[in-house]
Amino acid sequence: MKNKIEFVDLELLSRCWLLKGLAREALAGILASGSRKRVDAKDVVFNRGDPGNDIYFLLSGGVKVSTLSREGKEIIFDVLVAGDFFGDMSLFDDKPRTGTVTALVPSAFLSMGRAKFLDLLEKYPAVSIRLIKTLTERLRLMDSFLEDVLFLDAEARLAKRVVALSRIFGQEGENGEIRIDLKMSQQEMANLVGIARESVNKHFKGWEKSGVIGLEKGCLVLQQPQMLELLVKQLS
């Protein structure tokens, strides 16, 4: 059983963007030097303010990265899926975690300590280049989010985020509909977009009435995904 689990984890690790292209022997060494862990939905991986001594490679599942305002309101920075990594910032500036990471669904990951990860970067320059590219992409996404907050209304921001989630978690059905295979409450969706829950409820009801979206076992279904993408273009 142990060998089977290691084989499965090795296959999943090979799909991580940061480690793509590494030889199987190198991946096996990374797997051996890290610690594997599985968590249930809503389990906290680490909290904002915790010491940052490890990087995490997400092997399966999905997590959200969030923080709380002074008033106790949750703000979701990002949603990460299998193949992503997180926890890297604290390894370089030796400061506490800037956000709380919580599993959205049952998830598995490999954690690696600072010293071993820095050795990995020195040994494989290609990994360092991918890391820089990813950090740059995250900065661009943050710039885009700030532009959306400043220039787009609530409906446009919500539509844009729903379309983005459909591209990450979407499963296409027989009739062209797209099921977002991720259960998020309206409050979590509001926290992700940066709007009020009441606004999410209002626009979801309007889209549902128009036949653009629907709900299936708690998951959002884009009945007419092209209409939602058109709405984003019109409102942006």
Does residue 142 sit in the same domain as residue 175? Answer: no
Does residue 156 sit in the same domain as residue 142? Answer: no
Q: What is the CATH number of the domain that holds 140?
A: 2.60.120.10
User: Which residues make Cβ contacts (< 8 Å) with residue 149, sequence separation at least 6?
Assistant: 157, 194
Last residue of a domain, one of 133, 149, 165: 149
C-alpha separations of 31 from 111, 116, 120 in Å:
9, 11, 12
Judged against a pLDDT cut of 90, whether residue 122 lies above it is answered with yes
The fraction of the chain above a pLDDT of 70, given in percent, is 96
Does residue 106 sit in the same domain as residue 209? Answer: no
Q: Looking at residue 151, what is its pLDDT?
A: 85
User: Which residues make Cβ contacts (< 8 Å) with residue 9, sequence separation at least 6?
Assistant: 31, 36, 59, 108, 110
Provide the residue range defining the domain that includes 179: 152-235
Q: Computed over its alpha carbons, how large is the radius of gyration of the chain? A: 19
Judged against a pLDDT cut of 60, whether residue 117 lies above it is answered with yes
Q: Looking at residue 1, what is its pLDDT?
A: 43
Q: Looking at residue 51, what is its pLDDT?
A: 92
Q: Which residues in 184-211 are b (16+ Cβ under 10 Å) and which e?
A: beeebbbbbbbbeeebbeebbeebeeee
- Among 50-54, 56-60, 140-144, the minimum mean pLDDT is found in 140-144
Judged against a pLDDT cut of 50, whether residue 236 lies above it is answered with yes
62-68 and 35-39 strand pairing: unpaired
Which residue in 76, 229, 78, 77 sits closest to 156, CA to CA?
A: 229
Mean pLDDT of the chain: 89
Does residue 100 sit in the same domain as residue 206? Answer: no
Does residue 25 sit in the same domain as residue 135? Answer: yes
Q: Which H or E run includes 77?
A: strand 74-81
Query: For residues 53 and 216, which has the higher predicted lDDT (pLDDT)?
Result: 53
Q: What is the largest CA-CA distance in the chain?
A: 56
Last residue of a domain, one of 93, 116, 149: 149
Judged against a pLDDT cut of 50, whether residue 4 lies above it is answered with no
Does residue 44 sit in the same domain as residue 136? Answer: yes
Band the pLDDT of 219: cuts 50, 70, 90. Answer: confident
**Structurally, how many domains does the chain consist of?**
2
Band the pLDDT of 175: cuts 50, 70, 90. Answer: confident
Q: Looking at residue 152, what is its pLDDT?
A: 84
Does residue 189 sit in the same domain as residue 218? Answer: yes
C-alpha separations of 141 from 3, 122, 134, 164 in Å:
39, 27, 10, 12
Judged against a pLDDT cut of 90, whether residue 226 lies above it is answered with no
Last residue of a domain, one of 149, 168, 199: 149
Does residue 93 sit in the same domain as residue 209? Answer: no
Q: Looking at residue 168, what is its pLDDT?
A: 81
Burial of 163 (0-12, 13-18, 19+ CB in 10 A): middle
